[in-house]
Amino acid sequence: MSFRTIEWRDNKVIMIDQTKLPGEEVYNEYTDFTGVAEAIRGMIVRGAPAIGVAAAMGVALGARDIIADTFDSFYRQLENVCDVLGRTRPTAVNLFWALERMKKVAQQHKELDLNSIREILKAEAISIEQDDLKICKEIGKHGGALVKEGASILTHCNAGGLATAGYGTALGVIRAAHEAGKGIKVFADETRPWLQGARLTAWELMKDSIPVTLITDNMAGWLMRTGQIDFVVVGADRIAANGDTANKIGTYSVAVLAKENRIPFYVAAPISTLDLKLASGDDIPIEERASTEVTHIQGVRIAPEGVKVRNPAFDVTPARYITGIITEKGVIRGDYEKELRALVGL
């Protein structure tokens, strides 16, 4: 890939500014955890796996700046760093998974001196980023095998290299099929209101010379009905124990349309996106964002002043609409509750 989503370099966190794409390819530098928190909240970095990587690196930055004489004092301040990062985006479970992993690593090395713990936390954050890239490649391998020669694939939002440490989940499946020479083509929903499909997915695929056609969100049903879509793959921000899946708003509609038109609908996500503590999608918290994201596009008002707005950033697709969930350990289908638990060894 010709870009990097996020990396640790020279004791700074470097992130591509996704709010400026596709017009400008700008990389921001962050030297403290509050800057990383604002980047997550402000959508400079987005996508569940990438948010998890950013959060881990934010913890490492925060740990570096903590002034303490004892582990207990250090850890209390580290928990505060994690609390600040944890309040940025409520739906993507990878955020909380990464924070818990970083806190656990600190506790496991509490007998060491604080400078050693800081270095271990930095190494752990870098490891999370590197692991994510390997995981996405495995997801791509398993999912790419499901794609038929010459398939037309629909995807919604951006679950590509920009949403992960690299390669992508849903776009990892697409990349793997393309690399296998299957002659695929992609339709990308624009994904209102942030236009991740138009701004990010189309940009990514064009950079990699993967054939892509952009459509508005309300065109997907007609393309399915007229036989122009063979396969749907999307990412996920949180998957409940029964297989219900939260993803970018509009995903549920695509899943229902796919079911009606007998088109396979797959979710591609790492195991870290599973939240088996939640019985169903009814328990997944849904982030509501600012009304201006709906009433304006790039600062230009498109709706009447004072109009009431709803802006849920995610919706939940019930498991009954999902053909299969593609993970780094393989593809699961059918009894999701049983299969997901088996996947994580429960």
Q: Which helix (H) or strand (E) holds 341?
A: helix 336-343
Amino acid at 78: L
CA distance 174 to 151: 10
Closest CA to 84 of 97, 99, 72: 99
- Could you read off the pLDDT of 268-312 as tens digits, one per residue? 999 999 999 999 999 999 999 999 999 999 899 999 999 999 999
Give residue 22's pLDDT: 96
Residue 346 clears pLDDT 80, i.e. is over it:
no
Give residue 1's pLDDT: 64
- Could you read off the pLDDT of 37-50 as tens digits, one per residue? 999 999 999 999 99
How confident is the model over 116-122, as a mean pLDDT? 98
Tokens of 34: 């509050």
How confident is the model over 213-238, as a mean pLDDT? 98
Indicate yes or no: pTM above 0.85: yes
How confident is the model over 74-78, as a mean pLDDT? 98
3-state secondary structure of 168: coil
Instruction: Answer whether 247's CB lies under 8 Å from 50's CB.
Output: no
Give residue 298's pLDDT: 87
- Partners of 83 in beta bridges: none
- Could you read off the pLDDT of 120-172 as tens digits, one per residue? 999 999 999 999 999 999 999 999 999 999 999 999 999 999 999 989 999 99
Active site residue 132: no
What is the share, in percent, of the chain residues with pLDDT greater than 70?
99
What domains lie within the chain, and their CATH numbers? 6-136 (1.20.120.420), 138-343 (3.40.50.10470)
CA distance 235 to 267: 6
CA distance 168 to 217: 21
- Could you read off the pLDDT of 253-268 as tens digits, one per residue? 999 999 999 999 999 9
Give residue 285's pLDDT: 97
Selected catalytic residue, list 132, 237, 244, 275 = 237
Instruction: Answer whether 340's CB lies under 8 Å from 241's CB.
Output: yes
For 55-82, the DSSP string reads: HHHHHHHHHHH---SSHHHHHHHHHHHH
pLDDT category of residue 335 using cuts at 50, 70 and 90: very high
The 8-class DSSP code of residue 312 comes to: B
Give residue 13's pLDDT: 98
CB within 8 A of 286, min separation 6: which ones? Answer: 90, 91, 246, 312, 313, 314, 315, 316
Give residue 18's pLDDT: 97
3-state secondary structure of 233: strand
The 8-class DSSP code of residue 4 comes to: -
Amino acid at 116: S
3-state secondary structure of 338: helix
Give residue 166's pLDDT: 87
Beta strands in the chain (DSSP E): 6-9, 12-16, 27-30, 152-155, 185-189, 212-215, 231-234, 238-240, 245-248, 265-268, 274-275, 296-297, 300-301, 314-317, 324-327, 330-332
How confident is the model over 48-58, as a mean pLDDT? 97
Give residue 2's pLDDT: 73
- Could you read off the pLDDT of 91-113 as tens digits, one per residue? 999 999 999 999 999 999 999 99
Give residue 197's pLDDT: 98
pLDDT category of residue 345 using cuts at 50, 70 and 90: confident
